[in-house]
Structures are given as structure tokens and as C-alpha cells.
Amino acid sequence: MFIPEEWWAIIVLWVAEFIYEVASWSERNPFYGSVFIWVITAVGVNNYTKDRNAWIQIMSIIIGVIHTLSMGTLWTYTSVEEFDLWEQISFWDHGFLSNIDWTFQGFGEGGYYDQINDDEMAMEDEDIMLFESLNEE
């Protein structure tokens, strides 16, 4: 029951596809999963240009299409979710994009930078009042 080398290569490609899919979706990291698109494309092109096994070429195309569609879906989902166009799935609160504050609250009216400016103005007012009280004496 010897399995040829080419079939081992195909098995390894499918195992790698499974690992990349599980890791990308569980960690919500489409960057990580998108690397495999480059890898599987390189495998397919390498086999095509060197006129090697046709089964590896076919399987790399199939895996590449499946993985590209999956990562496109993950990119779309995480991007739309981060911009609060719909509610986040409750158990899925971690991942690459989940820690980024896309609201830019620090730059709007009443945001962080406005509070700093208000504090600075209050300190300047206190300094002016202190200076005036010293001059009156």
C-alpha cells in the first residue's frame, strides 16, 4: 500500500488548506489566511511551468479558488463588522481587527483631544487668575 509522492503532495496541500482555514476563521485574521493564496498560487504555477504532475496543478487550482473565496468572505465580514454595519456575533469577540478603534472618537467634538484642550485651557485660566491675584497684592 504505497502512496505515490504526488498524492502525498496533494494530501499535504489539503491539510495545509484545512489548517489555514481553521486558523484564519478562529482567530478572525484574514491577513494570515491570505498568505496561503500566494503559496498555493506558487505551487500551481511551479507545477505548470515545469510541466509536472497534472493532478497537483488541478488540486492547487481547486484549493486556490476555494481558499480565495473563503478569505474574500472573511475580509468582507470582518471589515463590515468593524465599521458597525451590523451586530457582532457574540462569541466571536477576538481577532486581528477587533482591537482597532475605527470610530476615531479622539478627533471628533467632545473626544479625547478636545478634553485635553479643555484641560489646558482650564490650566491657562488658573494661571491667569493666579497672576492677576499676585499683581493685585
pLDDT confidence bin for 132, thresholds 50/70/90: low
Place of cell 498568505: 35
**pLDDT at site 62:** 95
User: What confidence tens digit (pLDDT) does each residue in 34-81 have?
Assistant: 999 999 999 988 888 877 788 888 999 999 999 999 999 999 888 887
**pLDDT at site 131:** 61
Going from N- to C-terminal start, the domains of the chain cover: 5-82, 103-137
* Helix/strand/coil percent split, the chain, to 5: 70, 0, 30
Angle 101-107-108 from CA coordinates, rounded to 5° = 105
